[in-house]
């Protein structure tokens, strides 16, 4: 899991970064509706064909120039991190996974 702050695009986000395991991404994708239901919002599902990694991400616009909004933005990141931490482990223990690709 990673938290991102992109000051160039004015976006904050929380994501699951899956390196070199398209089978794991596919397994999680079969539970997309349940996962998004538990997260309480739609995520961006990025298989990233031709790449070794895949991502599942939520993000929102953020105004980094307004210091008065920093606490709200931090609180959003914390809430998303907690939601991801509570949600994804359930779906990572569903059964045997396929071996990671070895490209």
Q: Residue 60: is its pLDDT beyond 80?
A: yes
Break the chain into its structural domains and give their ranges.
2-92
Cα–Cα distance, 88 to 6 (Å, whole number): 24
**Tens of pLDDT, residues 86-99:** 999 999 875 544 55
The fold for domain 2-92 equals Ribosomal Protein S8; Chain: A, domain 1 (3.30.1370)
Is the whole-model pTM more than 0.85?
no
Q: Residue 29: is its pLDDT beyond 60?
A: yes
Of 102, 103, 100, the C-alpha closest to 26 is 100
Query: Please, what is the angle between helix 32-39 and helix 22-29, to 10°?
Result: 70
């Amino acid at each position: 899991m990673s938290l991102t702050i992109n000051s160039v695009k004015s976006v904050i986000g929380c994501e699951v970064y899956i390196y070199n395991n398209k089978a794991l991404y596919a397994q999680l994708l079969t539970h997309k509706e349940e996962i998004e239901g538990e997260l309480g919002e739609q995520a961006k599902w990025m298989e990233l064909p031709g790449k070794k990694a895949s991502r599942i991400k939520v993000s929102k616009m953020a105004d980094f120039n307004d210091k008065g909004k920093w606490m709200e933005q931090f609180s959003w990141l914390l809430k998303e991190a907690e939601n991801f931490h509570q949600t994804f482990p359930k779906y990572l223990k569903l059964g045997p996974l396929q071996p990671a690709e070895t490209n």
